Amino acid sequence: MTAVQALSIGELSARTGVGISTLRAWERATGFPAAARTTGGQRRYPIVTVEQVGRVQTERQRGLSLADAVAAVHAAAEVGDGSLYAGLRRAFPQLDVLRLGVRTMLSMTWSIEDESMAHASRPLLLGCFQTSRSFEVAGNRWRELGRTGRYSAVFSDFERTDADSTPARVALPSDSALLNEWAIVVLDPEMSAVLCAWEQPRRPGADRVFEAVLTLEPEAARHAARLLLQSTEGALPELERQLGGPLGASQGQASRATSLLHRFASYTDAAHRGA
């Protein structure tokens, strides 16, 4: 590790706003942040540690213990190749990261689905399901989405890929990072959206928690669609053809955001009331 690539503990403290004594206490308790020795023997921290420290602070502000916050940050760093979530975060680092429970994820997903049916002309829709059972629960909605949309495809642990079904089904390999992710992508001249999340590790009996990104930016939605296309290894030529067309213009995005928020509020309220 060279001096150009790394920071002293004082520099790390200055960039993160976390005191030197606090950083040292964290390292003693959890092994984070981890320093490495330069060729000259000095202890230095990788540049990426600045972002990681910031994320630990965010997790602690949300109520996690130091150990759990560090574990969550390490787990996020392990989400790698083949991950839609990681691909979006790399391409659009400005996207805010949300920490959401299952009910909120469901409310957001339903809101996006409803909004696409209500306002998109003939949208392209893509969905990632952690299990095929999860897809079957939502099957009727997705069959209707596929019937009225331009094109639709879903990704899960199906027994086989079926490019001719509605929606088209992509069977993911057992080691696919997508099997730990939850996503919906909408591309249409009237509305673009992407909700993508990965499920964080949890203790037995603990609530399921997802780290998510949500945006109505057409460029992000198109990028997400292309990342999913890559995972098909050529099995969905129609999806490739559709992505070559003029999808995802940014018409009416402000009004779509307001309408989406209203739908989300309604679903969330109903969930809390047990309706």
The structural domains of the chain, ordered by start, are 6-78 (1.10.1660.10), 84-273 (no CATH)
Q: What percent helix, strand, coil does the chain show, rounded to 5?
A: 50, 20, 35
Task: Give the pLDDT of the chain (275 residues) as one tens digit per residue.
Answer: 444 458 999 999 999 999 999 999 999 999 999 998 888 888 999 887 887 898 888 778 877 889 988 887 776 665 556 899 998 988 888 888 888 999 999 999 999 988 888 876 789 999 999 999 999 999 899 999 988 899 999 999 999 999 999 999 999 999 999 999 999 999 988 888 999 999 988 888 889 999 999 998 888 898 899 899 988 988 999 998 888 766 655 555 556 666 777 777 777 767 666 65
pLDDT of residue 76: 62
Angle between helices 49-61 and 9-16 (to 10 degrees): 50
Q: How far is CA 233 from CA 160, 193, 227, 244, in A?
A: 14, 24, 11, 17
The residue behind tokens 């209707």 is: 144
Can you give the pLDDT at residue 2?
A: 46
At 246 the pLDDT is 64
Q: And the tokens for 242? A: 């559709």
Whole-model pTM: value is 0.69
The amino acid sitting at 29 is A
How many other β-carbons are positioned within 10 Å of the β-carbon of residue 16? Answer: 20
CA distances, 28 to each of 10, 31, 103 (Å): 17, 6, 37
pLDDT at 247: 62
